[in-house]
């Protein structure tokens, strides 16, 4: 006798329906699993058999053949366990096969029959919904995550006994985990905590308004990390489409979604010892998302950037331009979104004091040069804003008691600038200035006033062709923050200074 159940195979962010077929009879007692399973899935036959035996039902004492179709599609993970047990149970005549039609099952089984949580429930159910499925069986602790997919009836199961109730048409009420407690206001990182560094705060605001990449460099202790950590706090909330996309990535990466959709821009700050695979994604057969994808629609902060391996830094070149990462492996090619806002922070030399007035550098000149060259020119050329932070002395002590703008005030200005960009760029298919490609920037939008400033910079070799586009993008963002319809010459001059890392006090804010 044969029966079938349904699950989902995930390759990257793309889900494909998998038909789990079970056939019983015609041979010595044995369980065979076919259909291109990975090692974790190949072990499912032993997990499922032990889980069924623990319930007292008994595993069929005949040849049990389990086929995962399509057989050419690579399948990884332990979330097929529930579908395997459901198909074997139906093939044994212990439930009606009609209960499995239109139902997708996701969950890992313990040897005692408990159902454990699995990765990728949200993207898997999005794929199931797109393929016409109307019901889903998931671990009880992931009911809230599964309920984010509209149009699906979700049943949460705690153990194999609950699964059998579902198969007999008596679904149990899914128990949702309580939402996590709200984050206390006092623990949020606010821009008002940063004393001084007025120019750097302005650069941070411009970067947030236009989704521009930012490079912060200066001696230790001047506030580079402090500023970068507060960038997400001044970014606008994600819209529904962005929230679903970001939440799906986090689900696939194994993050909990008990609090619902991820509505705030994510923040990832991998340590400088992170490997290439952990940064861009990796895996043996099917690559999993890395930090660049977990920071999608948010901020990727690389502190002590020169300490990262050159291979890891150079791997950022393509996603910085394309907004996605393609990872090829032996059996499949996974594509993940990676449209992040990059923030680099670096000291000027190993001791941190090179080029800083009043501080003595103990590094030989060759060490200073080598340290700076660890972040390559092509990477730096892709950064829109370069901001040098200088140490504070008396000014810092005088500013300690002063009230500075909190993140909420800056965030309102950023949101207003984003709305101006959205209204202007919506007919062109973009939302922020940082996303507009060079050809559209030059042809579909009016050029800023005083464009001869850039012509002179190019003629003097101070600006590359990519740099021209970067400066124009930043000038549009400065104009949006100022509330004017077209960048003026002062905005362009300020943008050029930001691109070259010059002091803004000499040119003003435009």
Which DSSP string do the residues of 39-64 spell out, in sequence order? HHHHTHHHHHHHHHHHTTS---SSEE
**Contact 91/1 with Cβ under 8 angstroms?**
yes
Q: Is residue 479 part of a domain?
A: no
For Cα atoms 157, 1, 50, give the angle at the middle one, nearest 5 degrees: 40
Q: Using alpha carbons, select from 203, 197, 195, 196 the residue that is nearest to residue 510.
A: 203
Domain of 38, CATH number, reads 3.30.230.10
Q: Is residue 459 part of a domain?
A: no
3-class DSSP string for 441-458: HHHCCCCCCCCHHHHHHH
The per-residue pLDDT for 28 is: 85
Sort strands 103-105 and 135-139 into parallel, antiparallel or unpaired.
Answer: parallel
> Could you count the other beta carbons within 10 Å of the beta carbon of residue 32?
12
What pLDDT, in 10s, does the model give residues 370-387? Answer: 998 999 999 999 999 999
Give alpha helix (H) positions in 43-118: 44-54, 81-91
Residue 505 buriedness (CB in 10 A; 0-12 / 13-18 / 19+): exposed
What pLDDT, in 10s, does the model give residues 27-61? Answer: 788 999 999 888 878 899 999 999 999 988 889 98
What pLDDT, in 10s, does the model give residues 101-157? Answer: 999 999 999 999 999 999 999 999 999 999 999 999 999 999 999 999 999 999 999
Q: Is residue 470 part of a domain?
A: no
pLDDT at 444 over 90: no
Q: Is residue 271 part of a domain?
A: no
**Quick one: residue 264, left, alpha or beta (phi over 0 = left, psi -120 to 50 = alpha)?**
beta
Distance of alpha carbon 382 from alpha carbon 473, whole angstroms: 12
Distance of alpha carbon 341 from alpha carbon 238, whole angstroms: 14
Give alpha helix (H) positions in 362-488: 365-373, 377-381, 394-399, 407-425, 438-443, 452-459, 465-482
Q: Is residue 20 part of a domain?
A: yes
The per-residue pLDDT for 44 is: 92
Lowest model confidence (mean pLDDT) among 19-23, 179-183, 390-394? 179-183
Sort strands 14-24 and 30-34 into parallel, antiparallel or unpaired.
Answer: unpaired
Q: Is residue 179 part of a domain?
A: no
More confident residue, 332 or 208: 208
Instruction: Show the tokens assigned to 6.
Output: 């349904």
Instruction: Show the tokens assigned to 442.
Output: 């030059």
Q: Is residue 332 part of a domain?
A: no
pLDDT at 388 over 60: yes
User: What is the pLDDT of the chain when averaged over all its residues?
Assistant: 89
Q: Using alpha carbons, select from 73, 53, 59 the residue that is nearest to residue 29.
A: 59
| Overall domain count for the chain | 1
The per-residue pLDDT for 506 is: 47
Residue 497 confidence class, pLDDT cut points 50, 70, 90 = very high
What pLDDT, in 10s, does the model give residues 228-283? Answer: 999 999 999 999 999 999 999 999 998 988 888 999 999 999 999 999 999 999 87
Q: Is residue 353 part of a domain?
A: no
Instruction: List Cβ neighbours of 282 (8 Å cut-off, separation of 6 or more).
Output: 275, 276, 288, 290, 327
What range does the domain containing 87 cover? 2-167
The per-residue pLDDT for 382 is: 93
Q: Token match 């309580």: residue?
A: 178
What pLDDT, in 10s, does the model give residues 177-202? Answer: 555 555 554 457 899 888 888 899 99
What pLDDT, in 10s, does the model give residues 349-370? Answer: 999 888 777 778 889 999 999 9
pLDDT at 347 over 70: yes
Q: Using alpha carbons, select from 233, 209, 197, 201 the residue that is nearest to residue 478.
A: 209
Distance of alpha carbon 341 from alpha carbon 214, whole angstroms: 8
**Contact 171/135 with Cβ under 8 angstroms?**
no
3-state SS of the chain: helix, strand, coil percent to 5? 40, 15, 40
Residue 332 confidence class, pLDDT cut points 50, 70, 90 = confident
């Amino acid at each position: 006798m044969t029966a079938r159940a349904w699950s989902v195979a995930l390759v990257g962010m793309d889900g494909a329906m998998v038909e789990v077929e079970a056939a019983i009879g015609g041979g010595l007692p044995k369980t065979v699993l076919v259909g291109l399973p990975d090692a974790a899935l190949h072990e499912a036959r032993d997990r499922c058999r032990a889980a069924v035996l623990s319930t007292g039902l008994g595993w069929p004492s005949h040849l049990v053949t389990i086929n995962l179709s399509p057989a050419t599609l690579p399948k990884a993970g332990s979330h097929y366990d529930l579908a395997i047990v459901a198909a074997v149970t139906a093939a044994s005549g212990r439930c009606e096969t009609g209960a499995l039609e239109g139902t997708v099952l996701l969950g890992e089984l313990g040897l005692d029959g408990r159902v454990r949580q699995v990765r990728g429930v949200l993207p898997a159910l999005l794929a199931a919904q797109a393929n016409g499925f109307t019901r889903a069986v998931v671990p009880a602790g992931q009911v809230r995550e599964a309920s984010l997919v509209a149009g699906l009836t979700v049943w949460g199961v705690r153990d194999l006994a609950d699964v059998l109730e579902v198969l007999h048409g008596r679904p149990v009420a899914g128990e949702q985990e309580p939402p996590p407690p709200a984050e206390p206001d006092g623990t949020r990182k606010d821009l008002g905590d940063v004393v001084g560094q007025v120019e750097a705060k302005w650069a941070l605001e411009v970067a947030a308004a236009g989704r521009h990449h930012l490079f912060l460099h200066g001696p230790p202790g001047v506030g580079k990390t402090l500023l970068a950590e507060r960038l997400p706090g001044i970014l606008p909330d994600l819209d529904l489409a962005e929230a679903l996309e970001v939440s799906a990535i986090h689900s696939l990466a194994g993050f909990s979604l008990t609090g619902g959709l991820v509505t705030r821009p994510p923040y990832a700050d991998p340590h400088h010892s992170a490997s290439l695979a952990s940064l861009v994604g990796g895996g043996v057969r099917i690559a999993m998302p890395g930090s660049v994808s977990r920071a999608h629609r948010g901020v990727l902060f690389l502190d002590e950037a020169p300490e990262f391996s050159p291979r890891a830094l150079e791997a950022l070149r393509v996603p910085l331009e394309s907004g996605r990462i393609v990872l090829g492996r032996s059996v499949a090619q996974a594509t993940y979104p990676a449209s992040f806002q990059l923030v680099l922070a670096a000291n000027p030399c190993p001791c941190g004091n090179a080029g800083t007035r009043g501080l003595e550098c103990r590094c030989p000149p060759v060490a200073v040069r080598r340290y700076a060259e660890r972040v390559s020119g092509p990477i730096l050329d892709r950064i829109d804003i370069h901001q040098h932070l200088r140490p504070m002395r008396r000014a810092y002590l005088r500013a300690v008691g002063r009230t500075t703008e909190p993140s909420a005030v800056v965030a309102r200005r950023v949101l207003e600038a984003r709305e101006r960009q959205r209204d202007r760029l919506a007919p062109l298919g973009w939302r922020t200035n940082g996303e507009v490609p060079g050809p559209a920037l030059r042809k579909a939008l009016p050029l800023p006033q005083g464009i001869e400033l850039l012509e002179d910079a190019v003629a003097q070799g101070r600006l590359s062709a990519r740099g021209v586009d970067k400066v124009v993008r930043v000038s549009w963002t400065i104009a949006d923050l100022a509330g004017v319809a077209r960048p003026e010459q002062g905005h362009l001059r300020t943008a050029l200074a930001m691109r070259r890392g010059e002091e803004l006090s000499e040119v003003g804010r435009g």
